[in-house]
Amino acid sequence: MNYGKKALEDLYSGVAGKPVAPRKHLNILGEEVDLYTRHEDEYSHVGEVSDETFAKINRIATGGDALTSINEYLNNKKYTKESFKNEYDYDSLVDILDRGEFEKYINSEDKPSLSINQTGNVVQLVTSKGFDERTAKRASTFTPIDDGGSNVGPCEILLALAFDNVTNSTEGGDLMMGNLKLEVKGQGGRFGQQGGRGGPALSPSTLLDGLETDSVPIVQSVEANIIGAHRAFERVGEIDQFLTNLHNLLKIAYPGGDVARFFNKDINYTDPTSRKRGSSQSQIRKQLAKLNLQQYSAKYGLQNLIFAKGPPQKSPTPGYLGDFASFTVDDALRDGGLIDKETLKATSFTMAGLYPNFFYMFAGKS
């Protein structure tokens, strides 16, 4: 037998022995737990509800005020009804947490710190601290629209709720750790305007300025065009002109970026990225990724990043639900850093798509 919303309200009231106000999330529930009332030595069958709902009925009957605790915790984490564009998203978040008896985690004195746990799996981490696993997974995939009209990142809300020293941001960025702004990116996140949505496109004439011949083949790949131009200028002994042109081109692509830092005479301009699966990326690709991230971080005053793995996508991406990595922009940009090690990788750069997808190479793939 299944019970609808009104019937379940009656069940709540019957077990609690007092009227219980209707709650928005009372939906049709499956049959898993039989409820009985006792009068003297006789038992009367009341109905059947899920294990999850039985736990909630028991919490109400014993006088627990879980919703107050959850709302206070969310408010302390700087989440309110005004945090989201849809007026019902806050209630949905409360409902997710209420279903998982989140007040048990609220009362835990052993919440993890992001300062100490900079990489790992947030679902597994909080589960080990008493957070209900099913609730943690639900929270990690809850990605509403924030009050500014942007999509909340995968695991973003869970990270704020889980870590003792992290809150929602109300002054730019996605999250805050003390006074530090944190930007959360999912697998495939970009640092800049998505292709086809008004970002800059490059003209090959800037790169080839000064050549007497137009014999250099122009393709969509920025990487391939740089290699072709370098080869042509090298043949005529004009490497300085090549470098000047390259800088001019990249300043158009990434205004305000530190082009000279990432593109100088010491860079390997001859070897492309192989299309063979598992091959290393070229130095050109890595330097473009660094320039893209550096320009973006300078523009928005960004110093700290979190990459997190959300639910499975159409095309498999590295990692499992809840995997995360927190790092500084410098960790990615420095010589021998995350980009050089190919821990943080960008897909190909094209003349019309200068802000490609970035992926953090978590172990495993789903």
Per the document, the length of the chain is 366
Sign of the CA dihedral running 21, 77, 142, 120:
negative
Tell which residue, 36, 30, 81, has the closest CA to residue 53: 30
Long-range contacts of 79-86 (CB under 8 A, 24+ apart): 79/157, 79/160, 79/168, 82/147, 83/146, 83/147, 83/168, 84/144, 84/145, 84/146, 84/147, 84/152, 85/144, 85/145, 85/146, 85/147, 85/149, 86/144, 86/145
Contact present, 135 and 52 (Cβ < 8 Å) = no
Residue range 53-62: average pLDDT?
A: 59
Query: Is pLDDT above 60 for 5?
Result: no
Q: Which residue has the higher pLDDT, 42 or 298?
A: 298
Confidence of residue 28 (pLDDT cuts 50, 70, 90): very low
pTM above 0.85, yes or no: no
Separation CA 178–CA 26 (nearest Å): 38
Contact present, 302 and 296 (Cβ < 8 Å) = yes
Confidence of residue 19 (pLDDT cuts 50, 70, 90): low
Q: Which residue has the higher pLDDT, 169 or 16?
A: 169
Q: What is the pLDDT of residue 1?
A: 44
The share of the chain scoring above pLDDT 70, in percent, equals: 80
Separation CA 286–CA 340 (nearest Å): 7
Paired strand residues for 43:
38
Contact present, 352 and 313 (Cβ < 8 Å) = no
Query: Is pLDDT above 60 for 167?
Result: yes
Tokens 């014993």: give the residue: 62
Q: What is the pLDDT of residue 322?
A: 96
Residue range 5-14: average pLDDT?
A: 58
Contact present, 125 and 137 (Cβ < 8 Å) = no
DSSP code per residue over 89-110: HHHHHHHHHHHTTTHHHHT-S-
Mean pLDDT check: name the lowest of 57-61, 154-158, 188-192, 197-201: 57-61
Contact present, 291 and 251 (Cβ < 8 Å) = no
Confidence of residue 124 (pLDDT cuts 50, 70, 90): very high
Query: H helices within 199-357, ranges in order?
Result: 204-207, 222-235, 239-253, 259-262, 283-300, 329-333
Confidence of residue 31 (pLDDT cuts 50, 70, 90): very low
Q: In a 3-state reduction of DSSP, which class is residue 231?
A: helix
Separation CA 213–CA 107 (nearest Å): 73
Separation CA 282–CA 265 (nearest Å): 15
Q: What is the pLDDT of residues 332-366, one digit of tens each?
A: 999 999 999 999 999 999 998 999 999 999 987 76
Which residue type sits at 357?
N
Confidence of residue 104 (pLDDT cuts 50, 70, 90): confident
